[in-house]
A and B are shown apart, each in its own frame.
Chain A
Amino acid sequence: MGTPLLELRGINKSFGPVQVLRDVAFTVQPGEVTALVGDNGAGKSTLVKCIGGIYPIDSGEYLIEGRPVHVHSPRDAAQLGVEIVYQDLALCDNLDIVQNMFLGRERRSGMILDEPTMEQLASETLASLSVRTVKSVRQQVSSLSGGQRQTVAIAKAVLWNSKLVILDEPTAALGVAQTAQVLELVRRLADNGLAVVLISHNMNDVFAVSDRIAALYLGQMAAQVKTTDVTHAQVVELITSGRSGALGLAEKGVAA
């Protein structure tokens, strides 16, 4: 296997007296979907926010493509090609798809917004993701369904030549058909060579699209395994008790 796109080693993060992340190691390979699972409060969100530069890490190594980097702000993360799609999507309902995708990073020619270029790039990006569900890229986001919004949010993340896209529970609020659509899109991102991290509570989703599963348990990385090597029940056990047979944390809390 080549160099992982993202490698975290020995990450620690505390908020005051509470240690949320304990010596976490996490690797993400390009072209793969890595599912990040864990119970509520296991530290998934904190880990993602550390990767995205919203929280600074207390100690540990952060490597992108094998190079150690320092990420202090979302802007740093974006420059390294790391994009996060949050659960609440952060789209402006009153703007259209193109306007949302380029929000804050508008293309200009001189002082004037370069609408044709933006529209073209947005269409190309959506086409490259084989998105056929939106009628027009000039549609207002308020007129889109939940799945379409998720699609736009993901396309927005992909637009910036990102290398790593982190999706925070992208299917949590979606119906069956739309969930399938979004998962298909997630798979396609990885097939296009991106590294994808999928946070999910839904084991079906995880097993449907992921190549690897990383399970967090009370702030520690219980295990990071290939999806094909584990069963549904084992993953649930990793999430709820941190260990499953030979996998996971040893009795005393040291990583196996």
Chain B
Amino acid sequence: MSAVTKEPAVAVARPSAGDDGILGYLRGYGRKVRGGDMGALPAVAGLLVLCIVFGLARPVFLTAPNFANLLTQAGPVVVIAMGLVFVLLLGEIDLSAGYTSGVCAAVLAIMLTNNGFPWYVGIAASLATGLVIGLLLGFLVAKVGIPSFVVTLAAFLGFQGVVLWLLDEGTNISVRDSVIIALENEFLPPLVGWGLAAVTVLGFAAVQLIQRRNRHKRGLKADLWQVVAFRVIGLAVLVGFAVAILNQERSRNPLFSLKGVPIIVPLVGVLLLLWTFVLRRTAYGRHVYAVGGNKEAARRAGINVDGIRISAFVICSAMASIGGVLLASQARSVDPNTGGSNVLLYAVAAAVIGGTSLFGGKGRVLDAVLGGLVITMIINGMGLVGWSSAYKYIATGVVLLLAASVDAFSRRRAAASS
């Protein structure tokens, strides 16, 4: 056995001296990107390019009213995409998420308008509908063992029928409840907007600093303070800039004021915070990633794989139901097309553009927000430029394919670099 013990362990490229400072951090980041882990980079680059292109083509694209429009327009897609991230993380797909939101919106409208229930009962009913749908889909996928593609394709068709049936073969139910309408159509008072911005930035800074201190206390390698400062200042600038623009007067009519952060923004912010916390800081979230990465390894580690899969569909459908409420609020009515046509495609595209992998195991809830903004900018910008529906469909399809290619490419890159 002496032959073995004498052999020195072959060390893998030790970190060079420069790996400690900011340069080292940047070098590490560069390595990560080259290795195929591009994170939010494509989405952020896409946002910038779109701003420049559409801003040049139609200067109105870059004005405060259109910015507010963009955010409210993105709301439902982003929320549905957040739910889809969970399903995509497992390497599954939910093609029915769009019509799930339609069914839930129809339930909401029927509860509110036809039966006169208060808004919270309506939301509870539509959320419950979403949960039941998610349980059903999850059960069929995890326990019966039908591929999710087939289950949700069947549900996609079925729910289209359910919406028609709920709406008596296609009537349009208007939604007049002021709370529901406010979700997509009202704005925060400017001071509240600033207050929220301050809370967000300070909260983020506190979390970052506490984490850093905890790691330091244990003698673990912590983020450089410069990096932490950069993150906090970056967020502060971004949030401050956005609030400043949104707090500008947008009304052309002097008798009537229109300014402030859309209510949907803090709503999406809370959902983002909640699901990011669940995915990154809880054992449940860790297990979602594990099941998406290697189902067999997860099973051997004692993780309830079926439970995780069912729960992902439940979360997806529940988020779709919230998306449905937002769609109803946006249109101020529910019709058989609510949640139909492009909603699902946009939501899937949002998640993928943001950087969530279609192969499972990789993705963040933030991806849904970034990707949702990209998709909405494309739709909004093409509308302003005056393109016909034909071009809009083609362009959106191409963007989805592009995002999926980036995904496939980075996956190959990651496989090759290991």
Contacts and interface: CB of A to CB of B under 8 A. Distances in A.
Nearest to B7: A180
Interface in A195-212: 208-209
A143 interface: yes
Contacts of B283: 106, 108, 113
A132 B290 contact: no
B294 interface: yes
Interface in B266-310: 281-283, 286-287, 289-290, 292-294, 296-298, 300-303
A233 interface: no
A241 interface: no
Contact of B418 (A106, A117, A144, A208): A144
Interface string A104-128: 1110100111001101100100000
Contact of A180 (B4, B294, B303, B418): B4
Interface stretch (A39-47, A93-101, A218-226, A243-251): A93-101
Contact of B300 (A74, A148, A181): A74
Contact of B1 (A130, A181, A187): A187
Contact of A184 (B5, B11, B298, B361): B5
A1 interface: no
B251 interface: no
- Please tell me the size bucket of the interface on A: 35 or more
B13 interface: yes
Interface string A225-242: 000000000000000000
Interface stretch (B102-110, B163-171, B212-220, B257-265): B212-220
Contact of A92 (B1, B219, B293, B415): B293
A183 interface: yes
B233 to A, nearest CB: 25
Given A92-B294, A93-B361, A209 B303 contact: no
Contacts of B252: none
A181 B302 contact: no
A91 interface: yes
A141 to B, nearest CB: 9
Nearest to A147: B10
Interface of A: 74-75, 86, 88-95, 99-100, 103-106, 108, 111-113, 116-117, 119-120, 123, 130-136, 142-145, 148, 177-178, 180-181, 183-184, 187, 208-209
18 contacts: A75-B302, A93-B294, A93-B361, A99-B290, A103-B298, A104-B287, A108-B283, A113-B286, A120-B218, A120-B219, A120-B220, A132-B9, A135-B15, A142-B415, A145-B12, A145-B418, A177-B7, A180-B7
Interface of B: 1, 3-5, 7, 9-15, 35, 214-215, 217-221, 281-283, 286-287, 289-290, 292-294, 296-298, 300-303, 361-362, 414-415, 417-418
